[in-house]
Amino acid sequence: EECPSPLVSEELRKKMAEASVNLISAIGYENAGTIEYLVDSDAKNFYFMEMNTRIQVEHPVTEEVMGCELIKEQIRVAAGEPLSKHVLNPTPRGHSIECRINAEDPYNNFCPSPGKIKLWYTPGGKGVRVDTHVYSGYTVPPYYDSMIAKLIVTASTRELAIRRMRRALSEFKIEGIKTTIPFQLEIFDHPDFIQGNYNIEWVSKYIDEKGY
């Protein structure tokens, strides 16, 4: 996930925001939620897909760009308190990208890869954030979602964010199980992704072309 979208113009973003406010106002919804839209190929029209009445996995990219803590604000609203002042009038800053690090084998149809993690070394530095519960010696169970970490990077521009993500992925060391990191490194080196020229079908087509 990335924020802001390289496809969506400022004009279209405002229209989507207005539609979202109208929707939640009409149903009297309170607290955190995510409204999802599909955008056509020329990025002129958008279409409602669904609303998730909860915090999304990708919420860190919003937090990093908008300078807020969504979980904190969610708790404030639930407690009957007002939103923080800086959340009411946020100022976007830079570009943020998130990779979901999954215990899966990307070269075997993304088959789950449970097991004991022998080495767990996370990247760090300016603009690098890792959300995880995992540690060296942790055993990934086969019963639940395969995501074991979220790697988030933020920089002043999309180009710099891509470079930072490449470095962070390269420094992320996990031994004992298969992960999606090698596949994600491929994506961040691909011209289509670098140019922002991709859609929801891109990964499937890429896998077919590579024969994975």
Residues 55 and 155 in one domain: no
Number of compact structural domains in the chain: 2
| 126 shares a domain with 171 | yes
DSSP for residue 94: S
Residues 51, 38: Cα–Cα separation, whole Å = 12
Contact of 166 with 186, CB cutoff 8 Å:
no
Q: In what order do the strands lie in the sheet with 95-102?
A: 2-3, 95-102, 147-155, 128-132
pLDDT given for residue 64 in this prediction: 96
pTM of the full predicted structure? 0.94
Angle at 130 between CA 83 and CA 144, to 5 degrees: 95
Question: 30: which DSSP letter?
Answer: -
Per-residue pLDDT of the chain (212 residues; tens, 9 = 90+): 999 999 999 999 999 999 999 999 999 999 999 999 999 988 889 999 999 999 999 999 999 999 999 999 999 999 999 999 888 888 899 999 999 999 999 999 999 999 999 999 999 999 999 999 999 999 999 999 999 999 999 999 999 999 999 999 999 999 999 999 999 999 999 999 999 999 999 999 999 999 88
Same domain for 116 and 73, yes or no, is no
Amino acid in the structure at residue 152: I
Letter for the amino acid at 1?
A: E
Longest dimension (CA), the chain: 53
Q: What are the catalytic residues?
A: 54
- Looking at residue 143, which CATH number applies to its domain? 3.30.470.20
Domain that holds residue 145: 95-210
